[in-house]
């Protein structure tokens, strides 16, 4: 099983740590605020009050065994850069860091971050997308040029099977999931028929996903 470390337990870091833990993942949570550690200690595999810029402290916490580390140190720009460097030095392969600006993000990537995220921007983008396209439940950038979207099946899909729709040929996307009330069909069959109020989860190139988003 993959091991995770979350460094910095502000709003974002705490949410990531709790979500991973709820999904059954072993999480090492680190923060220098004892109150934050106290609030999360019984909800993750291991929680430690420590200075994350201390290489020895991270080693003692077992962070070097983590496959993925998430760094969320708020406005502590220098600390986030230093922690990223330390994580790279101790052998953590995937380092995801919360950035505060494009410039900060470039520095983080230069010193070893494998991914820089901007949660506030992502939330703002999702809100704007939902305003423009109310049928879109969620939009998740996956890789450069690719996205996953969750959307309410448009009227012209209703009563048709996935074979009828042939989403790959007609739109260049794959249907990963059909949600119908309490029922979730993962990798649905070609003969599954779309019903009113079904929610579809699809994967594809951004330009192909955009075609589906425009359907009313």
In this structure, the number of other CB atoms found within 10 A of the CB of residue 116 comes to 21
Whole-number Å distance between alpha carbons of 72 and 18? 14
Query: What pLDDT is stored for residue 4 in this prediction?
Result: 95
Entry pTM: 0.62
Tens-digit pLDDT profile for residues 166-213: 999 999 999 989 999 888 888 899 999 999 989 898 888 888 887 887
pLDDT class of 138 with cuts at 50, 70, 90: low
Query: What pLDDT is stored for residue 13 in this prediction?
Result: 93
Query: What residue spans in the chain does CATH classification 3.30.70.1450 cover?
Result: 122-213
Whole-number Å distance between alpha carbons of 50 and 133? 44
Query: What pLDDT is stored for residue 203 in this prediction?
Result: 87
Query: What residue spans in the chain does CATH classification 3.40.50.720 cover?
Result: 4-117
List Cβ neighbours of 190 (8 Å cut-off, separation of 6 or more). 161, 162, 163
List Cβ neighbours of 28 (8 Å cut-off, separation of 6 or more). 3, 4, 5, 6, 44, 45, 46, 47, 48, 61, 62, 63, 66
DSSP secondary structure code for residue 193 in this structure: B
Whole-number Å distance between alpha carbons of 108 and 143? 19
Task: Give me the residue label for tokens 């392969």.
Answer: 93
Query: What pLDDT is stored for residue 211 in this prediction?
Result: 82
List Cβ neighbours of 124 (8 Å cut-off, separation of 6 or more). none
Tens-digit pLDDT profile for residues 73-110: 988 889 999 999 999 999 999 999 999 888 999 999 99
Superfamily of domain 4-117: NAD(P)-binding Rossmann-like Domain (3.40.50.720)
CATH code matching the domain that covers 122-213, chosen among 3.30.420.40, 2.40.10.480, 3.90.640.10, 3.30.70.1450: 3.30.70.1450
């Amino acid at each position: 099983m993959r091991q995770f470390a979350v460094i910095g337990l502000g709003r974002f870091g705490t949410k990531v740590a709790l979500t991973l833990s709820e999904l059954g993942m072993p999480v090492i949570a680190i923060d220098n605020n004892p109150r934050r550690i106290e609030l999360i200690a019984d909800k993750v595999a291991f929680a430690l009050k420590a200075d994350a810029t201390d290489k020895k402290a991270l080693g003692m916490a077992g962070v070097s065994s983590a496959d993925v580390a998430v760094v969320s140190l708020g406005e502590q720009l220098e600390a986030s850069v230093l922690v990223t460097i330390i994580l790279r030095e101790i052998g953590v392969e995937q380092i995801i860091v919360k950035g505060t600006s494009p410039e900060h993000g470039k520095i983080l990537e230069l010193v070893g971050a494998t991914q820089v995220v901007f949660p506030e921007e992502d939330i703002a983008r999702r809100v704007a997308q939902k305003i423009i396209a109310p049928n879109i439940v969620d939009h998740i950038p996956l890789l450069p040029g690719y996205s996953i979207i969750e959307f309410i099946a448009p009227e012209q899909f209703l009563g048709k099977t996935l074979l009828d729709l042939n989403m790959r040929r007609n739109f260049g996307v794959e249907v990963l999931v059909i949600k119908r009330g309490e029922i979730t069909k993962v990798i649905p069959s070609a003969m599954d028929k779309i019903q009113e109020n079904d929610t579809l989860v699809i994967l594809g190139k951004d330009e192909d996903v955009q075609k589906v988003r425009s359907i009313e």
